[in-house]
């Protein structure tokens, strides 16, 4: 599931099928001294990280490229770098792939304990959880929870709703409905395979752990709820293992999927 988007000086959008607010854009303007300013804008609610590279002919950049730039939400554009002509003729071409989230160069704290991403009643058995990553190539830590249709999907951690897709009537793998929540450490949680038009939150909304986000899809394949936590990597988003709190026990699906998980949640 490739969530990295590569554009050249164009608006940055999640996917064409999404009716989302514009996250931002990377563009250039010519200065009176003939230098070229490359700017970034973010009109969303969470930061995104751009990897800017350029092919320059008879020009140089004021910043060593390629370089990563974190663009935070702001009404004002951010100057990323300036391209300086050295002699004529000169030309430039740049690329700006981006990842939602805050790039720090290191993985987030994997000791953080998450809530289960769905409602589980007292005494109710924990549903089967699979970590089969066939549907998500390259992701070592996807979690598929087999849940009854209509089960409430809940925020596993506090954060800001970054993206919502809820226009798909029938689940089709990576094209399924989903909600992305941004966490304070720069990571993101994906909640995927949701029923059409059941989002209980809006983009930009702050949610607390346990808040209802939407409802699980009625589709039986793939498994009803997909969940993972990712963070911006050097080239593309990377997933991390997640530890869940289940009652007074800790549940590590990537270690216990072949064993016996905790049975109840308080």
User: What is the rounded distance in angstroms from the CA atom of residue 194 to the CA atom of residue 224?
Assistant: 8
Using the structure block, give the residue that is written with the tokens 């590569």: 6
Bridge partner list, 25: 11, 41
- Give pLDDT tens digits for 215-250: 998 776 666 889 999 988 888 888 888 989 888 888
Over 172-213, what HEC string results? CHHHCCEEEEECCCCCEEEEECECCCCCCCCCCCEECCCCEE
- Give pLDDT tens digits for 31-46: 999 999 999 999 889 9
Bond into 89 cis (ω within 30): yes
What the chain holds in terms of domains, given with CATH numbers, is 11-100 (2.60.40), 113-256 (2.70.70.10)
pTM: 0.80
Q: In the predicted model, what is the mean pLDDT of residues 183-206?
A: 92
User: What is the rounded distance in angstroms from the CA atom of residue 226 to the CA atom of residue 178?
Assistant: 9
* Burial grade of 9 (CB within 10 A; 0-12, 13-18, 19 or more): middle
């Amino acid at each position: 599931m490739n969530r990295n988007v590569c554009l050249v000086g164009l608006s940055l959008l999640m996917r064409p099928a999404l009716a989302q607010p514009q996250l931002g854009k990377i563009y250039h303007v010519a200065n009176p001294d003939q230098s070229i300013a490359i700017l970034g804008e973010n009109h969303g609610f969470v930061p995104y990280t751009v990897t800017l590279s350029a092919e320059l002919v008879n020009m140089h950049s004021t910043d060593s490229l390629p370089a990563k730039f974190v663009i935070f939400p702001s009404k004002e554009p951010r100057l990323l770098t300036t391209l300086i002509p050295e002699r004529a003729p000169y030309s430039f071409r740049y690329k700006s792939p981006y990842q939602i989230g805050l790039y720090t160069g290191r993985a987030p704290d994997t000791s953080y304990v998450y809530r289960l991403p769905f409602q589980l009643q007292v005494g109710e058995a924990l549903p089967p959880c699979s970590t089969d990553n066939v549907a998500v190539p390259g992701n070592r830590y996807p979690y598929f929870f087999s849940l009854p249709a209509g089960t409430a999907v809940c925020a596993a951690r506090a954060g800001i709703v970054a993206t919502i897709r809820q226009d798909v009537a029938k689940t089709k793998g990576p094209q399924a409905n989903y909600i992305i929540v941004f966490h304070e450490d720069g990571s993101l949680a994906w909640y995927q395979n949701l029923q059409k038009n059941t989002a209980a939150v809006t983009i930009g909304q702050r949610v607390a752990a346990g808040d209802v986000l939407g409802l699980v899809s009625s589709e039986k394949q793939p498994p009803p709820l997909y969940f993972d936590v990712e963070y911006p990597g050097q080239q593309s988003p990377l997933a991390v293992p997640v530890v869940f709190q289940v009652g007074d026990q800790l549940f590590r699906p990537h270690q216990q999927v072949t064993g016996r998980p905790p049975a109840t949640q308080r």
